[in-house]
C-alpha cells in the first residue's frame, strides 16, 4: 500500500465507455480512487451505491470518484447502468494501476487463501499527492468515512 504524502502513481485506463481516463486528466480536483474486487457483487455494490448516494456531496467538495477493478469495460458498463453510478469505473485487467497502488494481494474467504484485488481507497489532492489512505474498508459505511476525511 502507498502511504500518505507520497506522489500518486500516474495511470491511464479505459472507462466503461472505452474512453481513456488518466490521473493527470483529473489534476486540480480531489480524486477519491477506490479499488474494488468485482462488479455487481454484494460488498462492491454496497460500496459503489454509497458513493452514488453521496456523489453530490463529493462534487460539492471539489472531489471526483473513480472506481478501479480488474473487470473489463463491458462488465463495468452493465454495473454502472444497473445501479445508475454517476462516476467512472476503470478497467484494469492487466492490473497496471492495481499493482502500482499496492491493491493486489493475498485474501482469505471461507477459509481459503487466494490472490485478488484489495478493497483500498486513496484520496489524492489537487496536486497529485496522496492525502488519505483507507486500507480497511467496510463497504456499507465507506462513502461517509471518505466524505468526512475530505472535510
Q: pLDDT tens digits for 77-91?
A: 999 999 999 999 999
Residue 5 in any domain: the answer is no
**CATH number of the domain encompassing residue 125:** 3.40.30.10
SS3 143: helix
Residue 35 in any domain: the answer is yes
Residue 139 in any domain: the answer is yes
Phi, psi of 102 (to 5 degrees): 70, 25
Q: Give the percent of the chain with pLDDT over 70.
A: 100
Q: pLDDT tens digits for 27-39?
A: 999 999 999 999 9
Residue-range definition of the domain harbouring residue 35: 12-150
Residue 118 in any domain: the answer is yes
- Structure-block grid coordinates of residue 54: 453521496
CB 51 within 8 Å of CB 87: yes
Residue 6 in any domain: the answer is no
Residue 7 in any domain: the answer is no
- Structure-block grid coordinates of residue 71: 473487470
CB 65 within 8 Å of CB 51: yes
Residues annotated as catalytic (active site), given as ranges? 44
Phi, psi of 149 (to 5 degrees): -70, -35
Residue (of 67, 62, 63, 88) closest to 139 by Cα position:
67
Amino acid at each position: 500500500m502507498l502511504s500518505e504524502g507520497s506522489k500518486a502513481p500516474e495511470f491511464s485506463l479505459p472507462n466503461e465507455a472505452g474512453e481513456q481516463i488518466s490521473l493527470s486528466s483529473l489534476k486540480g480536483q480531489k480524486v477519491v480512487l477506490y479499488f474494488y474486487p468485482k462488479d455487481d457483487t454484494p460488498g462492491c455494490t454496497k460500496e459503489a451505491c454509497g458513493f452514488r448516494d453521496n456523489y453530490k456531496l463529493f462534487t460539492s467538495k471539489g472531489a471526483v470518484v473513480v472506481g478501479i477493478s480488474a473487470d473489463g469495460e463491458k462488465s463495468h458498463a452493465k454495473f454502472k447502468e444497473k445501479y445508475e453510478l454517476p462516476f467512472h469505473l476503470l478497467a484494469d485487467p492487466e492490473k497496471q494501476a492495481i499493482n502500482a497502488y499496492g491493491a493486489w494481494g493475498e485474501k482469505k474467504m471461507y477459509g481459503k487463501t487466494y490472490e485478488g484485488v484489495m478493497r483500498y481507497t486513496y484520496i489524492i489532492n489537487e496536486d497529485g499527492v496522496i492525502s488519505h489512505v483507507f486500507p480497511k474498508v467496510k463497504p456499507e459505511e465507506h462513502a461517509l468515512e471518505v466524505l468526512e476525511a475530505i472535510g
